[in-house]
Structure 1
Amino acid sequence: MTEQNEELRCIGCGAVIQSTDPAALGYTPASAVKRGLANDELYCQRCFRLRHYNEIAPVSLTDDDFLRLLGQIRDANALIVYVVDIFDFNGSLIPGLHRFVGDNPVLLVGNKEDLLPRSLRRPKLCDWIRQQANQAGIRPVDTVLVSAKKNHEIDELLATIEKYRHDRDVYVVGVTNVGKSTLINQIIKQRTGVQDLITTSRFPGTTLDEIEIPLDDGHKLVDTPGIIHPHQMAHVLSAKDLKIVAPQKEIKPRTYQLDPGQTVFIGGVARFDFETGPHSGFVTYFDNNLTLHRTKLSNADSFYEKYRGGLLTPPTAEELNDFPPLVREEFHVNEKSDVVFEGLGWVTVPAGVTVAAWVPKGVAALVRKAMI
């Protein structure tokens, strides 16, 4: 690696370019470095493959590396723009965020608002998000709803950032898969006209180092690495399956009238059991392309063993050996609530019922106040 290369960074992930260790961050063959500099598009090999072939290569970056990078915010004098995925709010939370932001103000940005039904009033959704953030110990100065993918409300977000920035830097933080890089790309496009500068992916951990975007007054907007949330569905599904379970369009709720002793399978990746309570309506919020199957609770185990990888997909039959077993979580619900399958969706349940959520081992299930 030449001394010159040490000063070069990948425009996709921000890693320092190097040509000596193919397994390490920022690896790029020397010939590719020359081509990248000539074309003014210098990517590391990992980002080049991700950008052109949707491949992802493993790199030696640990959770500690992400936390160390994020920890630099503590000493900064900045506005913290905290991006969460509205559809996967609980999976978007950064544990102990207050330790990283210090006394800096937090602007909460709910991304992917286009996935939720239009019938849901946006002011009500803002209130719900703020309440959920408060429960997690976060007191945002304001809340903005956007769709980075559809470029909805980006102007409002930029105006709100300027309102609270007060001659400071801006740090954009969030866990992986919340659409943070897509949002940054929209901001860059609006400010410079350059499209898709930062590599985006459904895979966890795409942005590997800080990416700095200069602001007009000498300050900077910093895109920090996505913090890997250990309980995300993205860690147990293939890229092909993630395309099936991760919503791309407005969700169409599906209502099931269930008697106790009935089960609804969510593809082959999760399961919802109605254990006890009166005959009730349950509203499901999952990707429109994800097939749901109702059956009797008494034969649900055998049904799953017989049809997983076939009728119950994803995962496909070829992927079953790598798919973790489903683990049961039981909940007794005293008020209208959402039973959440992190990274997948949720089921809204009435008060006075006992239900169970089955999720892949390592993925979280929980109960929260009903969003809708």
Structure 2
Amino acid sequence: MTELTKDTEACAGCGVKLQTEQQDKLGYVPEQALNRTPVICQRCFRIKNYNEVSGTTLNQDDFLKLLSHVGSTKSLVVNIVDIFDFEGSLISGLSRFVGDNPVVLAVNKIDLLPKVTNFNKIVNWVRKQAKEFGLKVVEVVLCSAKQNMGFDRVIQALDEYRDGRDIYVVGATNVGKSTLINRLIRDYSDLDAELTTSHYPGTTLDLVKIPMDDGTFIIDTPGIVYPHRLTELVSKQDLGKLMPDRPLKPLVFQLNEHQTIFFGSYVRFDFVQGERQSFTFYVSNAIPAHRTKLERADELYAEHKGVMLAPPTLEALEQLPKLAKHPVRIPKGKIYDVSISGLGWVKVNSDVGADLMIHVPKGIKVAVRESMI
């Protein structure tokens, strides 16, 4: 058997320890592939070349163990979150792990926001939300790794705050961590490799240390898998529909009480009680909306779920938890959003109050917040 050398003991894609003996275990690499540069495990090879999904992820305890030592290091922590799923992608309790280290909050995927968005207001909104979550940040940077928007400012923030520190990059799955880090590698490192990027959770499985030109390291951590996000539960065929790849075109509905909006078979929005008012839905435009009367909603769902009300297909729907009810009372006096983790959010455009019922697969996070836009 060919022995793994010190230089190839870890996969250059996901960071897992390489091995050549057990094909069904993490880190497997065929012996003949050891001559490639860089050396990546078979799992990363198939993700990169065939976009295949792998069901292998680290459990929550393993994620927390990997983060637990960060507070004892002298580091700059970059927390990447997804503006499209802010509450769902923000790491709960991150402040417990980072200690006194400075935190830069990089808010990715701003290219998905409508083009008329006031980004200064978004920055102020993010700061306020982070503070409510108990996270103290030295800077909020809006960016899009995909469109290379705001990336120069991310680099400037790293230079300003690291002061010779290593940089730990943390985030939930599907927030764009690897895409952002690969841009850093290309611009600021001599390393001839890229991290594995994929739409699927659990792509990076261990700490990946990336040497920078000045002798410090960027340390990529595995994305935390949060089951309260709809994007973690759907089939790989439907994931691309849930995750928009272009600026959102908000849908505005003028609704009377006792009206319902379905988004495929994923989410049902009931306007139970309140004055006639408008609601703006910030949802992937690949998920069709269907309006009906509340009194017909149960019947419509039973007859048309997975067919007219799709995605998902009926077969894929059977793999999801059953819909659970979330009663939501929108108070008077302010403009609020209702966020549905992994789907998007609904802006209640009036401050007169409303009683809503949100139906989502059991376990999916529903939250009320002050309006983002």
| TM-score bracket relative to the smaller structure | over 0.9
Q: Is the 8 A contact 1:10 1:42 kept in 2?
A: yes
Q: Alignment partner of 1:256: what SS?
A: strand
Q: Is the 8 A contact 1:24 1:59 kept in 2?
A: no
For residues 306-345 of structure 1, the aligned pairs below 5 Å read: 306-334=303-331, 335-345=334-344
Runs of 4+ in 1 over 4 A off after TM superposition: 192-196
- Displacement of 1:221 after TM fit? 1.1
Q: Is the 8 A contact 2:325 2:357 kept in 1?
A: yes
CA RMSD of aligned residues (A): 1.7
For residues 1-372 of structure 1, the aligned pairs below 5 Å read: 4-5=4-5, 8-33=9-34, 37=35, 39-59=36-56, 61-192=58-189, 197-334=194-331, 335-349=334-348, 350-351=350-351, 352-372=353-373
- Displacement of 1:30 after TM fit? 2.1
Q: Is the 8 A contact 1:315 1:323 kept in 2?
A: no
Q: Is the 8 A contact 1:5 1:18 kept in 2?
A: no
When structure 1 is superposed on structure 2, of 338-347 and 210-219 the one drifting more is 210-219
Distance 2:113 2:47 in 1: 29
Q: TM-score, normalised by structure 2?
A: 0.95
Unpaired stretches in structure 2, ≥5 consecutive residues: none
Query: Structure 1, residues 324-353: CA drift from partner, whole Å, max 9, x if none?
Result: 211110111113211111011111113311
When structure 1 is superposed on structure 2, of 327-336 and 250-259 the one drifting more is 327-336
Q: Is the 8 A contact 1:24 1:60 kept in 2?
A: no
Q: 1:125 to 1:60 in 2, by over 3 A?
A: closer
Q: Alignment partner of 1:134: what SS?
A: helix
Q: Is the 8 A contact 1:115 1:251 kept in 2?
A: yes
Distance 2:78 2:198 in 1: 20
The one-letter code of the counterpart of 2:336 is S
- Displacement of 1:235 after TM fit? 2.2
When structure 1 is superposed on structure 2, of 256-265 and 183-192 the one drifting more is 183-192
Query: Structure 1, residues 39-74: CA drift from partner, whole Å, max 9, x if none?
Result: 313111111111111112333632211111111212
Distance 2:187 2:325 in 1: 46
- Displacement of 1:196 after TM fit? 7.3
Q: TM-score, normalised by structure 1?
A: 0.95
Distance 2:179 2:328 in 1: 36
Q: Is the 8 A contact 2:227 2:233 kept in 1?
A: no
- Displacement of 1:93 after TM fit? 1.3
Distance 2:246 2:192 in 1: 22
Identity of aligned residues (%): 45
- Displacement of 1:5 after TM fit? 5.0
Distance 2:231 2:185 in 1: 27
Q: Alignment partner of 1:48: what SS?
A: helix
Unpaired stretches in structure 1, ≥5 consecutive residues: none
Q: Is the 8 A contact 2:258 2:272 kept in 1?
A: yes
- Displacement of 1:130 after TM fit? 0.8
The one-letter code of the counterpart of 1:307 is H
The one-letter code of the counterpart of 1:112 is K
The one-letter code of the counterpart of 2:183 is Q
Distance 1:320 1:150 in 2: 33
Q: Is the 8 A contact 1:236 1:360 kept in 2?
A: no
- Displacement of 1:17 after TM fit? 0.6
Q: Alignment partner of 1:322: what SS?
A: coil
Distance 1:26 1:138 in 2: 35
Q: Is the 8 A contact 2:57 2:202 kept in 1?
A: no
The one-letter code of the counterpart of 1:278 is E
